[in-house]
Each structure stands twice: as structure tokens, then as C-alpha cells.
Amino acid sequence: MSDDDLAAVVLEETRDRMDKAVDHTRAEFAAVRSGRATAALVEHLRVDVYGAEVELRSVAGLSVPEPRLLVIAPYDKSTLASIEKAIRTSDLGINPSNDGSVVRLNFPPLTEERRKELVKVVRHKAEEGRVAVRNLRRGARHELDTLERDGEISADELERLERELEKLTHDMVAAVDRLLAHKEQELLEI
């Protein structure tokens, strides 16, 4: 493998890791309740069924027929009680209702105070995403410095790659900021 290929591999791996960090931040935002029903709020809940803990999405179908209503239709009716229990013990703060065949979650509108608390939560999660991206940049910069120190790339090449890495980092941080702006707007919408 040529020296340029090594540097390209470092950048490509960093890009993939940064994409994953942004995707993780997006998933974290999806799990924050915004007053609207969304399957992302419950799909990863652990449900104790058949003697094992599995994700809710693997034992039930999730649908949102109305903006403030989430319907959970278990594939096997015998799992209804376990699903209800998992929702009650979660930190959602919503009481499920069961009609014998499906579980319904009715999401009440958020209070102004709760909305502001959730904005603080998503800002914190966004900062965690930015920090993750910057940490990945630092790791890649260290690898590039090592390549230059070992004589595998020139100082000019190192400078060019660092500019590319800076641009990539800036783009990924901007993506996190766009996600944050969208989530804040969603939370503050009445």
C-alpha cells in the first residue's frame, strides 16, 4: 500500500466514524419526547418475553395513527402484560392503556417548563456529539502526524490532509448543529 493510500484510509475511516457519531446524535434526539408520538421513543425498550429481554420492536408493530397517539400491536397477544410493564417502568412518564389486543400511549401536550428542560437535554446531547467528532479529529490528526514522523508522507501532504480533516470536522459539527436546530424547533412548537 502506498503512503498516499495510508493517509486516504485514515481520512476515510475518520469520515465513517464521524458519520456514525452524527447518526448516534440523531438517534439520541429521536429518543427525546417532543410532545408528539413517535416509534423511536419506545422501539428500543427492553421487554421481558419468553424468558429473555428483547427490544419492543421485535415483538410488536408500532404505529402512529394520530400526532399524539402511539399504538403498539404485539405479534403475540400473550406479551401484552410484559409490554405494558416495560412502558410503565421506563422513564417515559406515560401510562399505557390496554384494550386486550393493542397497547395505546396517549402523549399529553408538554408544559412550557418541560419544553425548556428538554431543550437543555438536547443541547447537552448535541455537545456530546460535537465532542465525539472533535475527539475523532484529534485521533486522526495523531495518526497523520505519526505517518509524517515516520517519513511516509511529506510535511506539505500533512498540511493538505489536515486542511481536509478540518473541513470534514467542520461539516460534521454543522450537521449536528442542524439536527439540534430542528429538534429545538420541534420541542418549542406548540
pLDDT > 60? residue 3: no
Q: Evaluate whether 187 touches 122 at the Cβ level (below 8 Å).
A: yes
Q: Which residue has the higher pLDDT, 32 or 122?
A: 122
Query: Model pTM?
Result: 0.71
pLDDT of residue 4: 63
pLDDT in tens, 144-173: 999 989 888 888 998 999 999 999 999 999
The label of the residue with cell 417532543 reads 34
The label of the residue with cell 397517539 reads 69
| Kind plus residue range of the DSSP H or E element containing 163 | helix 155-188
Q: Which residues contact 72 (CB under 8 A, 6 or more apart)?
A: 42, 56, 60, 61, 62, 83, 96, 102, 103, 104, 105
Tell me the β-bridge partners of 63: 71
Q: Which residues contact 153 (CB under 8 A, 6 or more apart)?
A: 3, 4, 6, 7, 144, 147, 161
pLDDT of residue 171: 95
pLDDT > 80? residue 34: no
pLDDT of residue 117: 83
Mean local confidence (pLDDT), 15-38: 85
Q: Which residues contact 34 (CB under 8 A, 6 or more apart)?
A: 110, 118, 183, 186, 187, 189
pLDDT of residue 2: 57
Mean local confidence (pLDDT), 169-190: 90
Which stretches of 31-154 are DSSP H helices?
A: 80-89, 112-149
Distance CA(66)–CA(55), nearest Å, equals 23
pLDDT in tens, 35-85: 677 777 787 788 888 888 888 888 888 888 888 888 989 988 888 888 888
pLDDT of residue 123: 93
* Domains parsed from the chain with CATH numbers: 3-31+111-188 (1.10.132.20), 39-106 (3.30.1360.40)
The SS3 assignment for 165 reads helix
User: What mean pLDDT, rounded, does the chain reach?
Assistant: 87
